[in-house]
Amino acid sequence: MNKGNNPHIHHANMGDNRRHEVCCEDGEYNKHTGHSIADFKKRFYVSLAFTVPILILSPVIQHLFGFFVAFPGDKFVLLAISTLVFFYGGWPFLIGAKNEIKNRTIGMMTLISLAINVAYFYGAAVVLGFPGEIFFWELATLIDIMLLGHWIEMRSVMGASMALEKLSALIPDSAHIIKEERAVEIKTIEFQDGNTILVKPGERIPTDGFVVGGESFVNESMLTGEAKPISKKLGNTVIGGSVNEDGSLQIRVEGIGEKSYLSKVIGLVRQAQASKSRTQALADKAAFYLTFIAIFAGIVTFFIWFIISGNIAFAIERMATVLVIACPHALGLAIPLVVAISTTLSAQNGLLVRNRAGFENAGKISTVVFDKTGTLTEGNFGVKNIYSVAGYDENELLRLLAGLEQNSEHPIAKAILREAKARNITIPQVNAFKAVKGRGIEGMIEGRKMVVASPGYAEDFNIKIHEELRNLEGTVIFLIVSYRENNILAGAVNLADIVRKESFEAVKKLKQQGIKVWMLTGDNETSAKSVSDALEIDGYFAGVLPDQKQEKVKELQQEGQFVAMVGDGINDAPALAQADVGIAIGSGTDVAAETADVILVNSNPEDVPLLISFGKATYGKMVQNLIWATGYNIFAIPLAAGILAGRGILLSPALGAVLMSLSTVMVAINAKSLKIKR
């Protein structure tokens, strides 16, 4: 089976030639508009090549390195080559500045453009007779370094996004569809809902669907972060892009195109990456004001040095250095790169971020409220305890109960049969089976009449039930055996919604983070207390109707708690919306909980502390980048202006560009160090 891009998954080619979109959210224009990574790379190398003769012909460089090159018209040759570098190498910055001014989003491209314009036109004026020094070499090296910096930046951002886009490549180009009991290979794009396909061991599952034949283990780690292969058998759902490991599966296609899991994941992550977070808004505002501060500082620097020295060339050089070194380049990259990396890592680990602000607020969470059924518990009946009476042991009691329940479709019957199967108990045959509506069932097993009775029905048999058995939590059933017209209580079983194993670890990790854990449930006090005691949580609300859950969340907020609500996204929608951070659990391919800030694909409560710790780490990286980017400018601008000139410390525009680019690289390295730790 060939691997390739599934046409059902709508995605862009994220290779070297990808061009940035013209307009971003809220009308903000991208500073790299119309230019690809390859374009910046080409302009950098061409400009770098022409920089060599510019350096050789520059008087300052000749004097510095002790050589002399001169010929008639050499200055005009120098001007011609510099003009080529100015227009070809500087074109992205000139166009970027035009777009910023046109759309009133003045920023770093305006600063760069202003710096290279000052350097070029001043140098051209000197060649044509204006008194001063030529520093075309600084113009060329400045453009080279800026092109290199932008090339590195674009590769960093694209590299983060490409990790997500690779998900779409998990879908094979073709697969085997079953037609007239034969497996025929067709292109994945031709699949229709309702088709049955065959997936052999080692092949990727080409589409979402559910198993209609066969059993196997499926590896979904690339999609959900779940490292352990998952058992798939009749009726289980599968996700397109996962790997079938050891058995053949027949799968009924359900969910193609935009309905597929991968399409939804990619759409949600793109939405999250494009959304404006509060931290990003702060960075944008800082960059905006920094631009004006830099322009003002550059103009003031020019006049001060011109007045002090009377040397216009030196004054222009100081101004150019201020404008270059103050470019809020690192500030512009500080948040978007962290956003791109964090949302991609989150998606690859089964955490789908819908609302960036909610995700960034994870570090403020002081209380997590869990819905009980299906979140902390498995969401279905399970055998909790077996109580033997009259000499029957547990397995014998379970054997007889399973024999009676094997003809019933009731949830209690399914729980009894599951437990018997788990213990490898052979189920006996039952005769004369009869269901007593609302009260129990009865039948003949091995020549004896047996009854599975509810507590109320058990009283009709005139048997004594110990007080301990009467007060068991959850649902209780009794096994009554009739022997020679005597009714004997053989034992009792209490069934309850079983607490998930992952819930214990989830609560433990949350408490280690200093977070309080509460539970909401519509169940009675006894059932709620049982789960609460088992998990050792801080508190619970029992007997809460769906429309009352929102009020309970509000009560905790009024006590000063910053609340995260974890629920299924349907009947918990009001509570999820009310919470400071809404976390929806999504089973399998259901990733469209509209009211949640974050969706847990695996429906695993252990992912809640993981989400909170990763949210804290992400926010921490954003703050670190902001501190570095703004702190750098606080020190760099006065230095560029020449505040230490009296001590012989002066920065050239080219060195200023190096320092500015270095700050950008530092921000990128810091962002890329972000990891998610399970």
Model confidence over 600-629: pLDDT tens digits?
888 889 999 999 999 899 888 988 888 887
CATH hierarchy code of domain 379-498:
3.40.1110.10
Asked if 358 and 232 count as a contact pair (C-beta separation under 8 A), the reply is no
Q: What is the pLDDT of residue 212?
A: 93
Could you give the percent of the chain with pLDDT greater than 90?
21
At residue 303 the predicted structure's pLDDT band, cuts being 50, 70 and 90, is: very high
Going by C-alpha positions, the residue among 250, 241, 249, 238 that lies closest to residue 188 is: 241
Burial of 180 (0-12, 13-18, 19+ CB in 10 A): exposed
pLDDT, greater one: 117 or 33:
117
Which of residues 11 and 384 earns the better pLDDT score?
384
Task: Say yes or no to pLDDT of 259 above 90.
Answer: no
Fold match between domain 342-377+500-608 and domain 379-498: no
74 Cβ contact partners less than 8 Å away, ≥ 6 residues apart: 57
User: What integer pLDDT is reported at residue 10 of this predicted model?
Assistant: 37
- Give the residue with greater pLDDT, 564 vs 677: 564
What is the residue whose two structure tokens read 């910023």?
100
171-267 fold: 2.70.150
Catalytic residue among 144, 371, 590, 597, which?
371
Q: How far is CA 212 from the centre of its chain?
A: 32
- Please report, as a single letter, which amino acid is at residue 551: E
Q: What is the pLDDT of residues 172-220, one digit of tens each?
A: 888 889 887 788 888 888 888 888 999 998 888 888 899 999 988 888 7
Extract the tokens encoding 581: 């951070």
Return the minimum-mean-pLDDT range out of 153-162, 246-255, 438-447, 521-530. Answer: 153-162
pLDDT at 588: 38
Strands 196-199 and 249-253: antiparallel
Q: What integer pLDDT is reported at residue 370 of this predicted model?
A: 94
pTM: 0.61
pLDDT, residue 223, reads 62
Averaged pLDDT, 286-311:
85
Which CATH code is given to the segment(s) 342-377+500-608?
A: 3.40.50.1000
- Pick the closest to residue 254 from 237, 278, 270 (CA basis): 237
Rounded Cα distance between 83 and 90, Å, is 10
CB 656 within 8 A of CB 321: yes
Angle of the 329-348 helix axis to the 653-672 helix axis, nearest 10: 20
Domain ranges of the chain: 25-165+281-334+623-672, 171-267, 342-377+500-608, 379-498
Q: Tell me which residue of 580, 576, 608 sits closest to 503, measured CA to CA.
A: 608
* Contact criterion met (CB below 8 Å) for 629 and 330: yes
CA separation, residue 48 to residues 354, 543, 664 (Å): 43, 73, 20
Q: Is 371 designated active site?
A: yes
Query: How high is the pLDDT of residue 567?
Result: 85
For 671, the 3-state DSSP assignment is helix
Give the torsion sign (CA, 577, 578, 583, 585): negative
27-61 pLDDT tens trace: 333 445 445 778 888 999 999 999 999 989 988 78
CA gap 189, 257 in Å, rounded = 9
What is the rounded average pLDDT for all residues in the chain?
A: 80
| 535 pLDDT more than 50 | yes
